[in-house]
Every structure is written in structure tokens, then in C-alpha cells.
Structure 1
């Protein structure tokens, strides 16, 4: 499993939304774009995908923008990646992969690959957007302490 540019940009945008979650004030796409250096048009597409996936909600009007649809501690990284990459984390592809392997060696390699994929999904399931925010904030504190 590899983190695509799409997922990375979406995670950066979601971190911005998580940072202001308690204020209940929406962020506009241009604000997120500037803060995280994400192209505007691409960000709009990502946020639309995240909205359809139930991870963000939009608010119209002069003070409109985007907000998290749920609390950041209830949104897992696996949900985010699944929403953007289009896979269902509930499906177990091991049976299909075993059928697709034409040789004994291919079957063994496929089993190991599926095991690695499952390990990656388990790790992503265990981290929430809040965990990423907390880790970022802890690193910021370390950087501040280093310069003092």
C-alpha cells in the first residue's frame, strides 16, 4: 500500500479542518490551499470526494467553506484513504488473489502481499485524524523548545 499524492493532499486539508474543529468556523478552499500549498482546483475535487464520503461537510454563503463532518478522533486514516482510493476496507481480497495466482510461487507471493496489505490497513485503522494532529503539535513543541 502506498500513500498517493491525492491521499496526502487530502490528509493535509483534513489536518487544517481538524485544527479548527472546535471553533465550528468553516475554512474556505483558498485558505487551505495557501496554508498547505495545494492547487485550488485539485483541492476542490478532493473536498468534493471527501464530502461524498461523509468526512467533510460544506457550508454555503459569504462565510462558507468546509468543516469536518465528525469529530477528528472518530475519523480513521483508513476511512480517509479508502474514501479517496476507492477500496472497501471490509472486503477480504485474499480468496480472489489466491484464485488468480496461477502457480504455487504466485500463490505464496500473493498470500504474503495480502498479509502486508492487511497489516497496513490495521495500522491505518488504529490512527485517527486527532492522533495525527496531536503528533504534529508535539513536534511543533519540540521545535519550539529546541530554538529557545
Structure 2
């Protein structure tokens, strides 16, 4: 799986919102904290707002905040908004001894999807991801 720069920026921006104190966070603060070009970030924030993952408020006290608690937004949610629904290329049709490769690609895709739906913004914000998996802390 390849993750575009746009998707990486989106994930960094929503993670910044996940750790922010309650209330709107100005786009400039997000851009500065995550070293994201402001104009690029504005387009990403608009896309996330239209998808219902974040809310916004205009004005001098305006900014952005998560539309749901961080433990209810997965990495898969954000990726789906920015990248669109994952494409499932069919790898069938491998001839002869290479035929099992189709099963390998299918299993790999399933593992990616499972992992991305298990990890929430709360896991990222709390630093509770180890070895690519969310940790459970007592």
C-alpha cells in the first residue's frame, strides 16, 4: 500500500486535533505544528469537513475540531476520505504454479484493512501503537 503525501498530511492534521484541548484549533497552528504547507492543509481540512470527520468555525476564535471522539475515528476512516475507497485489483488469472500468489495478495490486502480499522486517532495520540498494532494498557 502506498500512502500519498496528502494522506500523510491528513493523518498528521487529525492527530494534531486529537491531542488538542477542547475548542477550535486554527489551521495555522496545525500547519505549523505538523510542518504542512498551509494552502495544502486548507484543501485537506475542507475535504475532511465535507466528509464529516471534522467540524469548523469561522472567525477570530475559529478553527477545527474532531467531529467524533478520537477513539471513534480510525486511520481507515481518514484514508478513505482522502484516497477514496480502496481499489481491489484482481490478481486472479495467474497461470500454473504462480496461481497461489492471488491468495497472498488478497490476504495482504485484508491484513492492511484490518490493521487500519483497528488503530484509532486515540491510539496514535496516546502513543499506544507498538509493532504496528494498538496496545492495550491496564
TM-score class, shorter: 0.7 to 0.9
Is residue 97 from structure 1 mapped to residue 90 from structure 2 by the alignment? yes
Name the structure 2 match of 1:144.
none
Consecutive unaligned residues of structure 2, counting only runs of 5 or more, are: 129-138
Q: CA deviation at 1:7?
A: 1.4
**How far does the alpha carbon of each residue in 1:50-83 deviate from its partner, in whole angstroms, 9 at most, with x for none?**
1112111111222111110100000011111111
Q: 1:122 aligns with which of 114, 119, 125?
A: 114
CA RMSD of aligned residues (A): 2.0
Higher helix share goes to which structure? 1
1:49-88, aligned counterparts within 5 Å? 49-87=47-85
1:26-41, aligned counterparts within 5 Å? 26-41=24-39
The two structures have a TM-score, normalised by structure 1, of: 0.77
Is residue 2 from structure 1 mapped to residue 2 from structure 2 by the alignment? yes
**How many residues are paired up?**
127
Segments of 4+ moved more than 4 angstroms: none
Q: Cα–Cα, structure 1 residues 55 and 107, in superposed 2: closer, same or farther, change >3 Å?
A: farther
**How far does the alpha carbon of each residue in 1:17-41 deviate from its partner, in whole angstroms, 9 at most, with x for none?**
1112xx4311111111111110000
Q: Secondary structure at the match of 1:2?
A: coil
Q: CA deviation at 1:103?
A: 3.9
Consecutive unaligned residues of structure 1, counting only runs of 5 or more, are: 137-148
Name the structure 1 match of 2:124.
132
From the CA coordinates, give the structure whose radius of gyration is larger: 1
CA distance in 1, matches of 2:23, 2:66: 10
Name the structure 1 match of 2:17.
17
Q: Secondary structure at the match of 1:58?
A: strand
The two structures have a TM-score, normalised by structure 2, of: 0.82
